[in-house]
Structure 1
């Protein structure tokens, strides 16, 4: 496998880990009687702070998948992974870092760190898009 495929698989796996954590947390709340009913708000605003952070971290990964996963899939499908391989692990590390910071804290410093990690991902994807345009246009 190449770095782009591993990075994409890692990203998808991380989304699944966060989804499992969210489902487990919500199941715990329901089974322990700390939350009545089975309906949870999609933004996590109706559960304790940890649940809200897990909800937002997982949703943020899904929201960013359209441009991160999309470009990686495009590179894989068009045999252009030479463009994405060099930064695929860095992008995945930044994605993990952003989620972990999101799970750990909502302080101003943590929010700024998350933003920097997002900018790393955004910058890498913009670079890839430019390189892909250059290749195909």
Structure 2
């Protein structure tokens, strides 16, 4: 898997998570709930899975620009082979983090999720260090 493919996969995963939350809202509207009943900034009563999907989506948005900047930087520096070597692991760690988040927020699973997050951060740091060298 190339870094570009992994970046596209990361982006697709981010969109899939938001689609999960949006699907719930669409179903609610089809059931008769007014479309404007979700006031911006107000607490929303949504099922746990939907709330976790929203949070997993926001977590993806935190790292997606970092990953994109690293891939772009590697491309501009002519060092894509470096990023290609580990990009799939960044994607796998992101998907694993999100799946664990969707399953539960049990304290043990939060630690598992944090481990997958740590893998991503460590790989970002490794790539930045080596791109700067």
Please indicate, yes or no, whether the TM-score normalized by the shorter chain is above 0.5.
yes
Deviations 1:1-22 (A, max 9, x none): x610111110011111112112
Number of residue pairs aligned between Structure 1 and Structure 2: 132
In structure 2, list runs of 5 or more residues that go unmatched.
none
CA RMSD, 1 decimal: 2.0
Q: How far apart, in 2, do the equivalents of 1:8 and 1:15 lie? A: 11
Q: Retained in 1: the 8 A contact 2:93–2:116?
A: yes
Deviations 1:7-47 (A, max 9, x none): 111001111111211211111123224x5543255697531
Q: Which has the higher contact order (CA 8 A, sep 6+)?
A: 2
Summarize the Cα distance change of 1:24–1:94 in structure 2 as closer, same or farther, 3 Å threshold: same
Please state whether the residue corresponding to 1:124 is helix, strand or coil.
helix
Alignment match, 1:48: 47
Q: Retained in 2: the 8 A contact 1:94–1:117?
A: yes
Q: How far apart, in 1, do the equivalents of 2:118 and 2:18 lie? A: 24
Q: How far apart, in 2, do the equivalents of 1:58 and 1:48 lie? A: 15
Quick check: 1:132 aligned with 2:125? no
TM-score by length of 1: 0.86
Q: Where do residues 56-75 of structure 1 align in structure 2 (5 Å cutoff)?
A: 56-75=55-74
In structure 1, list runs of 5 or more residues that go unmatched.
none
Alignment match, 1:10: 9
